[in-house]
A and B are shown apart, each in its own frame.
Chain A
Amino acid sequence: MSDLSGAMALLQLGDSFFPSGAASFSWGLETLRAEGHLARAGDVEAFLAGQIRLRWATFDRPVVLASHRAHGDLEVVAAVDREADAATLAREAREGGRRIGAALLRVHAGLGTPGAASYRDRVASGHAPGQLAAVQGLAGFGCGLSESATCALSAYGVGVAIVSAALRVGLLGHLDGQRILSRCRPLAVEVAAGPPAGIESLHAYTPMAEIAMMRHEVGTGRLFAN
């Protein structure tokens, strides 16, 4: 894939216009906003930085990389996928990852991305959970993206999910949203430079977000699915 073609593929797959259902998920932000823990743009920036450093770097990224490095071997992808699923404590986080993963698989299967239709069938028959990060690695490899491009896509997805949810609940305006994404980019680059954690040592430490998602399960007046 040429540089330009690769860049255009990345733009297409990373665009919020690319359908995956991601707009329905806030990953705890909705509850944190409702309960007063996030009140302004600076809080959102700190929240996103925490998500990148303490979850994406040590959890999502290793899963994306391991799935990409499976080179289309679906048994390996499924093993990584199962680890990611088992290590996700909050139900809404686990189910959210499955739902977006399934939606993404369905779209990639429809587009003919190699490996997507077969893996979609595994997920649909209950033989793999279909967690988002594992699907991102599989689809990134299938689309011919490099490891780093696939990781960039994953990190950017975390940023857009948080910032766009924050914008929609009224925590910030459109310029603040773009400023936060810009300011958090070097952090994602920094943590992506290190060696990834092994799949056997996946870990995250984002207790406020996880507790918020647990509380969200029984909340009323929900805009988001988590």
Chain B
Amino acid sequence: MNEITPGFPAVAAASAPRSAARVGVGGPVGSGKTALLEQLIPRFTARGTNLAVITNDIATKEDAERVRRTSLLAPERVLAVETGACPHSAIREDPTLNMQSADELDRTFPGLELILIESGGDNLASSFSLDLVDFWMFVIDVAGGDDIPRKRGLGVLSCDLLVINKTDLAPYVRSDLDRMLREANEVRGGRPVLTTNCHTGEGVDAVMEHIAREVLFDR
């Protein structure tokens, strides 16, 4: 809380000094966005990154609670934004409440370096406002169908990093992971694509290192 509160708790109406990089994590419901956060948070913590998380809930605060429960983050470093059943709008057309929450975190935790903003679960056409984030990832998974990359959804095409999760499930859901990767690279014109198994943590180090390199500049 600010020192100057002569009666009213300060709402983040103004942009706080931007110390923290803001990274969006989008993708379809069930693709593993929260699982990826659960894997990333301890890695960033071990790396010494000063970190906070915002979740955009569709129906409950479950994701925020899950992150709080399973991560090394203090509860006050995890904020949940209710989106009024408009998760797309809250990260793109009208990101004002997410920006307000990010500013609040910046102000509450001086020296904050990274805010991970998880979307509420999207379809393939979702994307993040560039007023809200500096960098964003789109998480898809093999169980959602190996045709997802070639559908050329906006999220797959325009994200800064595409993550294909649940690689271990490919043989069980008749998905051709090699083809998925090949087509993802084709439609993205060679922009970054990484694979993960967030159940075991396989591949998550590479995601963390990519974020650290691209937005933390190895701070």
Q: Which chain A residues have a beta carbon within 8 Å of chain B's beta carbons?
A: 17, 19-26, 82, 85, 98-99, 101-103, 105-107, 109, 120-121, 123-130, 165, 168-169, 220-225
Contacts and interface: CB of A to CB of B under 8 A. Distances in A.
Interface stretch (B21-29, B77-85, B195-203, B208-216): B77-85
Given A17-B93, A19-B93, A98-B11, A126 B83 contact: no
B90 interface: yes
Contact of A220 (B7, B60, B84): B60
B14 A85 contact: no
Contacts of A125: 2, 4, 10
Contacts of B81: 24, 225
B100 interface: yes
B8 A23 contact: no
B95 interface: yes
Interface residues of B, number: 33
A106 B84 CA distance: 20
Nearest to A165: B84
A168 B60 contact: no
30 contacts: A19-B93, A21-B96, A21-B97, A23-B83, A23-B86, A23-B94, A24-B81, A24-B82, A24-B90, A25-B84, A98-B8, A98-B11, A101-B13, A102-B12, A103-B96, A106-B13, A106-B96, A120-B13, A123-B11, A124-B13, A125-B4, A126-B10, A127-B7, A129-B7, A168-B86, A221-B60, A222-B59, A222-B60, A223-B83, A225-B81
Nearest to B89: A23
Given A103-B99, A126-B8, 4 more contacts: A21-B100, A99-B97, A102-B12, A129-B7
B100 to A, nearest CB: 6
B10 A223 contact: no
Task: Give the interface SS of chain B, mostly helix, strand, loop or mixed.
Answer: loop
A222 B59 CA distance: 5
Given A24-B82, A107-B96, A168-B86, A128 B11 contact: no
A123 B83 contact: no
Contacts of B93: 17, 19
A134 to B, nearest CB: 12
